[in-house]
């Protein structure tokens, strides 16, 4: 059981585990938590696995925040016989560090960390009299793998494992939005309702102040004129992000512009991954070679978001995408597929659409589209590009929403309350 930091001289010891510090929101999230909690009352050790070839490593982000993770080389994203070694090493780490809280993030670390935790709780002489070691276990779902990642059999196995771990060795389950809680608990049947806590993401919003001063920096680098509309998508080039949909929607948009002689926007894909060569080939085959820029990975969100006029997200599955929160912090309007916590970010149907047959929904803070519908996504992009006033309205609403709900201070306060609740 966690000690009450207000009544004990020694701080609460937390071990935070993530499968890998690859490019993405979860890596930044665990770094912000590790470095941001009050060090008088909390001491946190960040544990991570290796970043596989084809993915960019965010170790630099941890280093910039003064954090040196403990690396377990055998732990990574994919299932492997080495997972047995990972679990054993984590078990030995728990025995050595004797934490008050073990907090796991992402699916692989959640499985390995909680299996090690099960061993740690019960492999003790006191188990003979039914007294396990005192330690609390928390797991955060940044997304989930219950659809759109693997085949049917593999998905069912993962779901069964999650249900067992939730029952046997999880004190609290953190989700990032109400929509995510609904999916994981009510739709897929993981955990008990009382285990769940909704703690949205939080980020350092000060990074994005005065974005207008940086708007032209990358547009000049990319050769984009001040009056040209630039539509961008940000994220790893991997299957679940569904960049193929983005390119198909862009091609349909180009076709429509050709029919009407309307100005054609430019498209930029920010990120890297194993699908890059395939996506570049697709862009060429769709006739988008001159309209599309592949930037590769970038580590300067304070510059690339201001350069964009619209931010797109085409994912098949999401938790709460940090890229949309950052876009809103920069007053960028968004068009996104209606998956996971995206629905909560964009808000309710605004009633602005006068076309009841429109294949998209105009929400309070952006436009939602059905997953995998390229024509609808293209139509939504065209609708938003055509209305500069609506883009400005979405941008203003999004910024205010993020400032009120997604600050780093609020995240740290929420997490501190959760740890205190477990005492």
pLDDT the model gives residue 25 = 87
- Are the CB atoms for 258 and 283 separated by under 8 Å? no
| pLDDT tens digits, one per residue of 335-380 | 999 998 899 999 998 766 656 678 999 999 999 999 999 999 999 9
pLDDT the model gives residue 130 = 64
pLDDT the model gives residue 124 = 80
Percentage of residues in the chain having pLDDT higher than 90: 78
pLDDT the model gives residue 148 = 59
397 vs 388: CA distance, rounded Å: 14
pLDDT the model gives residue 353 = 62
pTM: 0.86
Give me the long-range contacts of 1-10 (CB less than 8 A, separation at least 24): 1/100, 1/134, 1/136, 1/422, 1/423, 2/100, 2/101, 2/136, 2/419, 2/420, 2/422, 2/423, 3/100, 3/423, 4/420, 4/423, 5/40, 5/41, 5/42, 5/420, 5/423
Q: Does 207-405 carry CATH code 3.40.50.2000?
A: yes
Domain ranges of the chain: 12-202+407-421, 207-405
Q: How far is CA 210 from CA 143, 205, 207, in A?
A: 31, 11, 9
- Are the CB atoms for 367 and 398 separated by under 8 Å? no
pLDDT classification of 7: cutoffs 50, 70, 90: very low
| pLDDT tens digits, one per residue of 310-323 | 999 999 989 889 99
| Least confident stretch, 153-157, 169-173, 292-296 | 153-157
CATH code, 12-202+407-421: 3.40.50.2000
pLDDT the model gives residue 149 = 67
The two domains 12-202+407-421 and 207-405 share their CATH topology (first three levels equal): yes
| pLDDT tens digits, one per residue of 58-78 | 999 999 999 999 999 999 877
- Are the CB atoms for 121 and 94 separated by under 8 Å? no
Mean pLDDT, rounded, for 406-414? 97
Helix (H, G, I), strand (E, B) or coil at 1: coil
Percentage of residues in the chain having pLDDT higher than 70: 94
Q: Is the pLDDT of residue 201 over 70?
A: yes
- Higher-scoring residue by pLDDT: 64, 131: 64
pLDDT the model gives residue 129 = 63
pLDDT the model gives residue 355 = 61
Mean pLDDT, rounded, for 273-281? 96
- Higher-scoring residue by pLDDT: 357, 134: 134
Burial class, 6, CB count within 10 angstroms (exposed 0-12 / middle 13-18 / buried 19+): exposed
Mean pLDDT, rounded, for 281-290? 96
Q: Is the pLDDT of residue 6 over 60?
A: no
Share the mean pLDDT of the chain: 91
């Amino acid at each position: 059981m966690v000690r009450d930091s207000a009544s004990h001289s020694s701080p609460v010891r937390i071990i935070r585990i993530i499968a890998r510090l690859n490019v993405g929101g979860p890596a930044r999230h665990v770094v912000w938590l590790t470095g941001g909690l009050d060090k008088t009352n909390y001491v946190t050790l960040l544990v991570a696995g290796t970043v596989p070839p084809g993915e960019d490593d965010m170790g630099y982000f941890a280093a910039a925040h003064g954090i040196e993770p403990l690396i377990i080389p055998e732990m990574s994203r994919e299932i492997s016989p080495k997972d047995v070694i990972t679990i054993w090493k984590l078990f030995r780490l728990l025995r050595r560090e004797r934490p008050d809280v073990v907090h796991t993030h992402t699916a692989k670390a959640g499985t390995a960390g909680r299996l090690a935790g099960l061993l740690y709780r019960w492999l003790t002489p006191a188990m003979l009299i039914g007294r396990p070691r005192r330690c609390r276990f928390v797991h955060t779902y940044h997304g989930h793998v219950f659809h759109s990642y693997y085949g049917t059999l593999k998905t069912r196995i993962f779901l069964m494992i999650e249900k067992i771990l939730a029952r046997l060795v999880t004190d609290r389950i953190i989700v990032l939005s109400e929509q995510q809680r609904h999916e994981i608990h009510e739709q897929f049947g993981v955990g008990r309702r009382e285990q769940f806590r909704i703690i949205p993401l939080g980020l350092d919003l000060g990074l994005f102040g005065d974005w207008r001063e940086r708007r032209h920096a990358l547009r000049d680098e990319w050769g984009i004129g001040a009056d040209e509309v630039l539509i961008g998508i940000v994220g790893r080039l991997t299957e679940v992000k569904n960049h193929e949909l983005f390119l198909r929607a862009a091609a349909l948009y180009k076709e429509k512009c050709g029919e009407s002689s309307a100005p054609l926007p430019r498209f930029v894909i920010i990120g890297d991954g194993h699908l890059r060569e395939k996506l570049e080939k697709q862009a060429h085959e769709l006739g988008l070679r001159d309209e599309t820029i592949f930037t590769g990975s970038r580590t300067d969100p304070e510059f690339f978001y201001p350069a964009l006029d619209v931010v797109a997200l085409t994912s098949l599955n999401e938790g709460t995408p940090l890229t949309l929160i950052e876009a809103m912090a920069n007053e960028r309007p968004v068009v996104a597929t209606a998956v996971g916590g995206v629905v909560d970010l964009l808000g309710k149907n605004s009633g602005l659409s006068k076309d009841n047959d429109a294949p998209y929904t105009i929400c309070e803070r952006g436009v939602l589209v059905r997953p995998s519908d390229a024509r609808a996504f293209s139509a939504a992009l065209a609708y938003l590009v055509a209305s500069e006033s609506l883009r400005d309205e979405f941008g203003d609403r999004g910024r205010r929403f993020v400032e009120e709900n997604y600050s780093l201070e609020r995240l740290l306060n929420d997490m501190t309350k959760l740890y205190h609740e477990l005492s």
